[in-house]
Amino acid sequence: MQIKNDKDLKAILLLEDGSFFIGSPFGFPRKVIGEVVFNTGMVGYNESLTDPSYKGQILNFTYPLIGNYGVPSNIKDKWGIPLFFESEKIQVSGLVVSELCKYPSHPTSVRSLHDWMLEEGIPGIEGIDTRELTKRLRDKGVMMGLLDFYYDKPDIDELLSELKSSNKYDEINYANQIELSEPIVYENEGPTIALIDCGVKNNIIRNLLKREFKVIRFPHNVNVEKVLEYDPKGVVLSNGPGNPKKFNETIKLINDLIEYNLPLLGICLGNQLVAISLGGDTFKMKYGHRGQNKPAIFLGDGLTYVTSQNHGYAVDLNSLNETGLKVWWINADDKTIEGLAHYKKPIITVQFHPEATPGPYDTTFVFDYFVRMIERGRSIYA
């Protein structure tokens, strides 16, 4: 878009139900279409924006002021993994905030949120009633939206027609958009873990490395023969975007891996893919769980833990009868499944993010369960 005068440019967020919000632009002014979702976290926007699970979505933060601590530099840890970002770039299609902080203050800040989004070509809208937007998504469910920019007057009918003719989020195969094509090796002293990258967050990799595993990061469509060449002692199935039923090649891989009785840990999307692989089913949630304050009950001790979550699909409890899977965690609010474990096989999964970033580290012990399962080579129930 050719910018005439920044102060004259306006932004519009149009939802597929015909409702729309007019606000001020920030970031890079370009038209995008995506599924509009909301996140209830108070902090962690840098990590959320770079979370690959948000690919194809326009993210609305419910917290009223975003950007106040700026954006840090892309410094990396000793394994070459970025410390403050969950991938190498912003993953959301667009961003919605009530108020954008234009003059951030923090010792690690090197630029503003606006400048970062401008550099990466991501559009944003501020100054709208994000509470009203959140209530609409909560009551009607998440829906497709269009974010655009204009000077004079937007053509609502034309934009709505374009929005309604676009592909729905559920219909898009995001597995085809995952960029990893060749294995990446993270050297370490311990045994080898195969990490299946369906859109992995960096802190999942870091948590495995902290436990001294050597990590081989594979593309989601790798075949089982390639994985076995590296003699892994266990496999981690990562988080990722989109409809889990579109990940056909990964589902086949999981079926093949289960035949070799390798210990498996599924995280978020990985939880759903394990259930599907064993004959279970998933369903689209009305508005999902996205935030860093989601309570999950661990049935192992009966305690409730605060977890970081980002998902719009869940495993159907009624589909588990013939799978060999037992509910391991449940959501304290809506009783949806937050984790599974197999009766006989060394398989555990969680729907939340035990690696956090953003959010609490209360459930990092899930990785320790995985370590013990590898050491024992059998189900946690055996």
DSSP label of 339 = E
Q: Is 198 a catalytic residue?
A: no
Q: Which of 114, 220, 342, 353 is catalytic?
A: 353
In angstroms, what CA-CA distances link 187 with 208, 209, 374? Answer: 11, 9, 19
C-alpha span between 224 and 254 (Å, rounded): 8
Q: Is 355 a catalytic residue?
A: yes
Q: Which of 47, 268, 311, 342 is catalytic?
A: 268
Specify whether the backbone of 152 is left (phi greater than 0), alpha (psi in -120 to 50) or beta: alpha
As beta bridge partners, residue 350 has 267, 339
C-alpha span between 106 and 104 (Å, rounded): 7
C-alpha span between 309 and 96 (Å, rounded): 19
Place of tokens 């859109």: 199
DSSP letter string, 131-164: HHHHHHHHHH--EEEEEEEESS---HHHHHHHHH
Place of tokens 């802190």: 203
In angstroms, what CA-CA distances link 76 with 82, 83, 189, 270, 306? Answer: 4, 5, 20, 26, 28
CB 130, CB 98: distance < 8 Å: yes
CB 137, CB 36: distance < 8 Å: yes
Beta strands 264-267 and 143-150, pairing class: unpaired
Give which of 235, 215, 209, 213 is closest to 224, Cα–Cα.
235
Q: Is 353 a catalytic residue?
A: yes
Tokens of 46: 């840098």
Beta strands 143-150 and 10-15, pairing class: antiparallel
Give which of 79, 40, 85, 32 is closest to 63, Cα–Cα.
40
Rg (CA), the chain: 21
The residues annotated as belonging to the active site are: 268, 353, 355
